[in-house]
Amino acid sequence: MDYSNRVNSKKGAGGIASAEDQNVHSKKRVQELLATHILDIDNDPYVFRNHLGILECKLCLTTHNNESSYISHLGGRKHHLNLERRRILDEKSRQQQEYQQRVQDQVSISNVEKRHWKKIGKPEYKVVKVRDPKTLQLGILITVKYPNISVDEPFFRLMSYFELTSKNQNASMKFVQNQNQDGDDEDAEDAEDDLEPSDVQYLVLSAEPYDNIAIIIPNKNEIDKPQEEDKMSDTYWWFWDNDTKEFFLQLMYKS
């Protein structure tokens, strides 16, 4: 504001502005702000007009009677400082979301979709004890029939008691207790009187749409199988006959 050439002012010095001059200067400043800044309340995420018609800044928690006051607030230090704080928080939140997304994209048991199919019951299977005529090794030969199989080939896995779920562990506990009580059962001839669920292995065979079947194998003797995964040998092999829809699996014990 120009204070020169005012009443009662010295030459070259600024005089005291009257109330009329201050109002004129304020109106002029408001016109300049409104001309250079267009206030779009609908697109500004931090401003809204309350029920009294007063503008409020949600970022700084301030109130403004008119548009010019809010525009002045936009150029102030407080609003710029809160904008910087908000940007830092948004950046941290974005980085955290990206990290969680990368973790979810990694393959794990928790994010692998479980396969579902309409089960049609248990397949027909047979377990036979065998002996190698040359090495005299003992073992078992398992034959399972899958006439209505919907996958290319069945798969199997040897599991310990501690790999089972809690539900299957309880079922295994009841089965072993019944085997211990029934000493005349054919499947329990070689079992000890105090057999525990952790003393056996569980051979699980699966093929859609049949129910999974589990065969209990005593782990008193170690199974003679190759060190490499998915490798067969003379004592450890399997075969899927696609013509007869039969699956053969032989396991031999180390002598």
CATH topology of domain 124-252: Immunoglobulin-like (2.60.40)
| Amino acid sitting at position 187 | D
- pLDDT tens-digit profile of 99-141? 888 877 776 656 667 777 788 888 888 888 888 888 888 888 9
Instruction: Give domain limits for the chain.
Output: 37-105, 124-252
Long-range contacts at 112-121 (CB < 8 A, ≥ 24 apart)? 115/208, 117/150, 117/208, 117/209, 118/209, 119/209, 119/210, 119/211, 120/148, 120/209, 120/210, 121/210, 121/211
| Amino acid sitting at position 195 | L
Q: Is the pLDDT of residue 38 over 70?
A: no
What is the reported pTM? 0.48
Q: Average pLDDT for residues 178-205, to the nearest whole number?
A: 65
Assign 189 a pLDDT band (cuts: 50, 70, 90): very low
Distance in angstroms (rounded) separating the CA atoms of residues 153 and 172: 27
Assign 151 a pLDDT band (cuts: 50, 70, 90): confident
- pLDDT tens-digit profile of 139-148? 889 899 998 8
SS3 readout for the chain:
CCCCCCCCCCCCCCCCCCHHHHHHHHHHHHHHHHHHCCCCCCCCCCEEECCCCCEEECCCCEEECCHHHHHHHHCCHHHHHHHHHHHHHHHHHHHHHHHHHHHHHCCCCCCCCCCCCCCCCCCEEEEEEEECCCCCCEEEEEEEECCCCCCCCCEEEEECHHHCCHHHHHHHHHHHHHHHHCCCCHHHCCCCCCCCHHHEEEEEEECCCCCCEEEEEECCCCECCCCCCCCCCCCEEEEEECCCCEEEEEEEECC
| Token pair recorded at residue 137 | 């090794």
